[in-house]
Each structure stands twice: as C-alpha cells, then as structure tokens.
Amino acid sequence: MNTLEETRPDPDEILASLKLDEENGKRGRLKIFFGMCAGVGKTYTMLQSAQTEKSKCTDVVIGYIETHHRKETEDLVRGLEIIPRKSFDYKGTSLGEVDLEAVIARKPKLVLVDELAHTNAPGSRHLKRYQDAADTYDIVVEQNPLDAEALANRGVAKLYLNNNTGACEDWYMASDMGSEKAKSYLLKFCE
C-alpha cells in the first residue's frame, strides 16, 4: 500500500518543470488595471507598465485598447504589438471586439485588455469583456497553477461574475502563495 508521501509529486520537480515551461514560452499572462471611474489614468498607467515590461524583453501584446484619441496615451501604444480586433456586424455597423481566440492562440507573456465594463457586440463569446478576461485567467491558471497574481485576478473576475465562492477560493489559494492583494480581498469580501 502506497503512503501519501510515496504518491505525492515532488514540489521541487513541479516547480522546475513550471520554470522550464515559462522559459520556453508556454505560459501566457494577463494583467488588468482597475480604477474607480473613467479618466483616472487606468489605460495610461497600464501602457506605462507595458512599456516597462517590454523594455525587460517581456512578450507584451495589446488585446484591446481605447486611447480616446489622447496623444499621450497613443504615444504609449507605439512599439507594442496589437492583436487585431474581431469584427462583428451589428445593424449595419462593424464593431471591433477583443479577439479572445487570437489572444489565447498567441500566448503572450502579458496581454493588455482595456474597457472591462464594456458590453460586447452580439455574437461575441460573452456579453461583457470582463467575462472574456475570466476565461483568459482560467487558461493562465490552468497553465500555471502557482501564479498567485493570476489566481488573485481571476478571483476579482469571478467576483464581478457574482461567483463569490469561487472568488474566495482563488483568493485563499493566492493568499497561501503569499499574495498580499489576495489577503486584502479575503478580508474585504470573504467572511
């Protein structure tokens, strides 16, 4: 009869495998900036962060960006790869949405998604853009179950989807991995 210790995977081997996968580019990453209201600088700050990551040779792409024709914001988009928007016809007008399938297939290290509260065009995979983000986080967490930041952010997406139990579960796991953000969410939203 096998004991738990005999059948349990070696955590050092798992970590080494995950690090190797990361080095070989098998993992994607999504980072979402939340803000209290419009005009507080979410997009600008997100793009600044993306440019910083790009300067560190991180594979960064834009899944969706809305510059609102602000020159300073548009300047920060320069040099970043943009995943083309998926077009949907709505009452004779072409609407561009996040091409979630293209983002997932591209597997960037970091993908920027702006305007999360946006209602997607009819025919999109989900009604709201934050639901697209939740799907992407599921994939990130599946590829890297030890990514505390992805777990914490997926918890936020689940909270927006009214899945409080799932949000708290993600925050507990991320908190156990040392995420301070997850700990603060636990205190605020979970018992």
- Considering its fold, how many domains does the chain have in total? 2
* pLDDT value of residue 14: 59
Residue 31 belongs to what domain range? 19-144
Do residue 154 and residue 139 come from a single domain? Answer: no
Determine, yes or no, domain membership for 189: yes
Do residue 124 and residue 159 come from a single domain? Answer: no
Determine, yes or no, domain membership for 35: yes
Do residue 126 and residue 49 come from a single domain? Answer: yes
Secondary structure of 39-83 as H, E, C letters:
CCCHHHHHHHHHHHHHHCCCCEEEEECCCCCCHHHHHHHCCCEEC
Distance of CA 38 to the CA centre of its chain: 20
Nearest CA to 148 out of 108, 186, 102 is that of 186
* pLDDT value of residue 72: 94
Do residue 137 and residue 167 come from a single domain? Answer: no
Do residue 120 and residue 167 come from a single domain? Answer: no
Do residue 135 and residue 172 come from a single domain? Answer: no
Q: Determine how many CB atoms are found less than 10 A away from the CB of residue 82.
A: 12
Residue partners of 144: CB distance under 8 A and separation at least 6: 18, 21, 22, 27, 150
Determine, yes or no, domain membership for 14: no
Determine, yes or no, domain membership for 127: yes
Do residue 65 and residue 156 come from a single domain? Answer: no
Do residue 46 and residue 62 come from a single domain? Answer: yes
* pLDDT value of residue 176: 94
* pLDDT value of residue 191: 77
In contact, 66 and 43? CB cutoff 8 Å: yes
Determine, yes or no, domain membership for 7: no
pTM for the model = 0.64
Do residue 169 and residue 80 come from a single domain? Answer: no
* pLDDT value of residue 4: 47
Determine, yes or no, domain membership for 70: yes
The per-residue pLDDT string of the chain (191 residues; one tens digit each, 9 = 90 and over) reads 555 455 566 666 655 655 665 555 544 555 567 777 778 888 999 999 999 999 999 889 998 899 999 999 999 999 999 999 999 888 999 988 888 889 888 878 788 888 877 888 888 888 888 787 777 777 778 777 888 888 888 888 888 888 899 999 999 999 999 999 899 999 999 97
